[in-house]
């Protein structure tokens, strides 16, 4: 009985945070403009984020393993905390990328932010309806990224607290059971 108890506690303490590393958000940025890619990469680095930048929605899907060839096998360890994508891109748009991500069981929980140089209300509504976390008007500012980061870290903190609380309840439950079984 004591053996079982030990392995239970081991399971409980693993992997409580989905952050790539303590306080470091891993952001996947998607933009077809080389100027914007350079800019957003630096913006995110300065904001203490780990960054992966790709130049198309297709490449983003490849990176996530959603391009049909891989079907997310072996991509469970890929820790992305945020996807930021340009809206207007040749080939697949940011909106279509958003839809594909929300359709995927592996990645639908990842917040997706759409960036666009055009302030078109129906476009914004459509993206938000499809589950976008936020819609940023380009050019993106440091303050925008800071705001995003703060709100995501708060959300992570809430999730973390919920998980810890749940595990506390589970541990209490196991303890009660053991008491009843008079170990």
The residue ranges that bind other proteins (CB under 8 A) are: 33-36, 38-39, 42-43, 46, 88, 117, 138-139, 141-142
Give the chain's end-to-end CA distance (angstroms, integer).
8
Closest separation in Å from C-beta 78 to other proteins? 27
Calpha distance 176→128 (Å, rounded): 45
CB of 36 to other proteins, least distance (A): 5
Can the peptide bond before residue 139 be classed as cis, meaning omega within 30 degrees of 0?
A: yes
| Nearest approach, Cβ of residue 6 and other proteins (Å) | 47
Please tell me the distance from the alpha carbon of residue 11 to that of residue 146, in angstroms, as a whole number. Answer: 34
Q: Could you tell me the smallest distance in angstroms from the CB atom of residue 95 to other proteins?
A: 16
Compute how many other C-beta atoms are within 10 angstroms of the C-beta atom of residue 34.
10
CB 65 within 8 A of CB 120: no
Per-position DSSP letters for 26-45, written without gaps between them: EEEEE-S-HHHHHHHHHHHH
Q: Whose Cβ is closer to other proteins: residue 39's or residue 135's?
A: 39
Q: Which of 168, 162, 159, 174 is nearest to 7 (CA)?
A: 174
82 in Cβ contact with 53 (< 8 Å): no
Cβ 99 to other proteins shortest distance, Å:
23
Q: Least distance in Å: CB of 46 to other proteins?
A: 5
CB-nearer residue toward other proteins: 28 or 40: 40
Q: Of how many residues is the chain composed?
A: 183
């Amino acid at each position: 009985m004591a053996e079982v108890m030990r392995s239970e506690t081991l399971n409980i303490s693993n992997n409580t945070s989905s952050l790539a590393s303590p306080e470091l958000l891993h952001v996947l940025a998607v933009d077809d403009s080389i100027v914007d890619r350079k800019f957003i990469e630096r913006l995110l680095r300065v904001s203490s984020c780990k960054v992966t930048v790709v130049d198309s929605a297709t490449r983003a899907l490849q990176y996530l393993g959603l391009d049909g060839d891989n079907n997310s096998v072996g991509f469970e360890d890929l820790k992305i905390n945020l996807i930021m994508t340009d809206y207007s891109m040749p080939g697949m748009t940011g909106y279509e990328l958003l839809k594909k991500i929300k359709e995927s069981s592996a990645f639908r929980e990842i917040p997706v932010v759409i960036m666009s140089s055009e302030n078109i209300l129906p476009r914004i509504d459509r993206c938000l309806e499809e589950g976008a976390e936020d819609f940023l008007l380009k050019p993106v500012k440091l303050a925008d990224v800071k705001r995003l980061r703060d709100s995501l870290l708060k959300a992570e903190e809430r999730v973390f607290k919920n998980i810890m609380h749940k595990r506390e309840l589970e541990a209490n439950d196991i303890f009660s059971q053991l008491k009843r079984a008079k170990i």
